[in-house]
Amino acid sequence: METSENLPHSGNLRRKIVAIAAGEAHTLALSGDGSVYSWGRGMFGRLGTGSESDELFPVRIKLENSGKVEDERLKFVGIAAGSYHSLALTDDGSVWSWGYNICILRTGYYICSQQFQSYD
């Protein structure tokens, strides 16, 4: 039996995890302080890192175009991972999405950027 000393872990995820969401090729983790971490295949921007690079270890998602400064950052309370996109729910009830299917919450045809979008 392996002990926690033998299990691999990432140095940037040493906080209490309260939820996990698994997509087709990526994973999200929600920490107790309201931060979201992602890792896996980055194609289509589904990791929310600002690039399509793959990440082997968890990286904290930063909503750079959210209009919030770091001290007033959003607190996430829920996460979901699809095949090519991710969603996160904040404590104020807004939903944030990123990745290939960024426009799935809208009607009609849109050409979408890979920036974060908020749906209030």
Dump pLDDT digits (tens) for 17-76. Answer: 999 999 999 999 999 999 999 999 988 888 888 888 999 999 998 776 555 554 466 899
Distances (CA, A) of 6 to 1, 12, 13, 65: 10, 17, 16, 39
Is this model's pTM higher than 0.75 or not? no
Q: Which helix (H) or strand (E) holds 118?
A: strand 117-119
Single-letter residue type at 37 = Y
Rounded Cα distance between 100 and 41, Å, is: 13
Using CA atoms, how far apart are residues 8 and 117, in angstroms rounded to an integer?
33
pLDDT bracket for residue 7 (50, 70, 90) = very low
How crowded is the C-beta side of 64, counted as CA atoms within 13 Å? 7
